Every structure is written in structure tokens, then in C-alpha cells.
Amino acid sequence: MPKTVLITGASRGIGRACALGFAARGMNVVINYNKSEAEAKSLRAEIEAAYGNVRALTVKADVSDAGEVSAMFEVITAEFGGADILVNNAGISISGLFTDITDAERDRVFGVNVYGAFNCTRAALPYMIHEKYGRIINISSMWGVSGASCEVHYSASKAALIGFTRALSKELAPSGITVNAVAPGVIDTDMNARLDGDAMRALCEETPVGRLGAPRDVAAAVLFLSSDEAGFITGQTVTVDGGFLM
């Protein structure tokens, strides 16, 4: 019986690449989105056209809202019984001086990036614990490892995911569930499209491999950590940054 994966924020970028990668492995894919309905449905159609044996499902939910997450998991339970793999990918960024960020902006960043992962993990665990199997992958950031000037709130939220990963992995290991994080570097996604050309060129030059990362680079790490071959790896943060933080 094929496994089922839920990817939050799956309609674009890293989430989209992950969805395509899991579908290629014959897994059922739940594509979570909040605002990007057209992109999510287009991805579902692409998966169904390319992989006739794969079931793809789109579900709208703001992961920062525990009620919406609960409703999403009711749909997943009805369709698939539960999610064997959870990729907490949904995230938002914010830039600016620490003193200029409003409380509402701060709360939104932590609501999606941190509490979104909390909400989805809590909802996914009953099924995983019952099955004595699960894979949870949290998408952090290299800025969660090193910190970034003028991105204090974003960096702090992504650092929180690393602490969440380390602590939860110890709690869930006896239940056959692994918990790991992936910390991308500068990836060619919509989130980084706000940077001007000079900033992107500078970041590219600072990356030892000499290029920006692609969503598929991050997806490859996620797919490995989700595999049975990675069953002895838990509590780790895999940095996919082309050597940026070396």
C-alpha cells in the first residue's frame, strides 16, 4: 500500500519540487495551500497526468490556524487514513530593522513558520504513533543556523524549528518516528525574488559552488530523510546551501 505524504505550502518552490519527487516514488501526495489555489490545482493535474498510479489531493488550510489544520487532517484521514510523512514547508519571510517590525508582522511570521509546524505535527502524530512509523521533515533555513541581519524575526523562527526538531526527535524515536530538519541556503524561489539583481549576484558569489540552489536540490534532501534508508537518522539538520556556511 503506498505511503501518503502531506506537504504544507506545496503549491510553489521547494514544496512543489518535493511533491513531484514523492509522486515519482509512487506515494499519495496531499498538496496543502493557503492562497495559491490555481498553482496547487495545476500541480495536482501535473502529478495525475505524469503518474497515473498516484493519488493527489489539494487541501486549503492556513497552517497557523489550529482549527483549519484539524479540518485538513479530517480530509486526509477520510481519504488515506492518515499521513505517513509530513513535510512542514509552509513559511513566510520578513525583512527590516528589528525595531521596525510590528507585533502583527512578528506574530504572523511565528504563526506560520513555527506554530504552523506545531499544529500540523500534533495533528499528524496520532496516526504515526498508531502505525509505529513516521517521517517528519521541517524546512528551516541557513539563517536559522547563522542568523541574518535585518531578518531577525525570520531567523529566530527558523532557529526555533531546529530546536523543535532536536527535542521532538528524542520524544518520538521510541515510536518509530524520525524528525529531521533541512536548512536551505539561497534558493531560486519566489521568496527570494524580492531581492534585487545585485543582492542575488552577491549571494551567488558567496556560495562556494558558484550558483543559486534550485528547489530540487532541497527536495532531494527531503526525499532521502523521508526514506527507509534514513531510518537511523533523526534529530539532525541537513544544510543544503552549496557550502555558504562553511
* Residue positions annotated with a catalytic role: 154
Distance CA 215, CA 56 (A): 20
Q: Cell numbers at residue 113, please?
A: 513558520
CA distances, 218 to each of 125, 222, 238 (Å): 24, 6, 10
Distance CA 246, CA 15 (A): 26
Question: How many angstroms from the chain centroid is the CA of residue 157?
Answer: 13
Contact 56, 40 (CB under 8 A): no
Q: Cell numbers at residue 230, please?
A: 534514513
Pairing assessment for the beta strands 85-88 and 4-7 based on DSSP bridges: parallel
Give all strands (DSSP E) within the chain, no chain letters: 4-7, 28-33, 56-60, 85-88, 134-139, 177-184, 237-240
Contact 180, 235 (CB under 8 A): yes
Instruction: Burial-class residue 146 by CB neighbours within 10 Å (0-12, 13-18, 19+).
Output: middle
Distance CA 32, CA 90 (A): 9
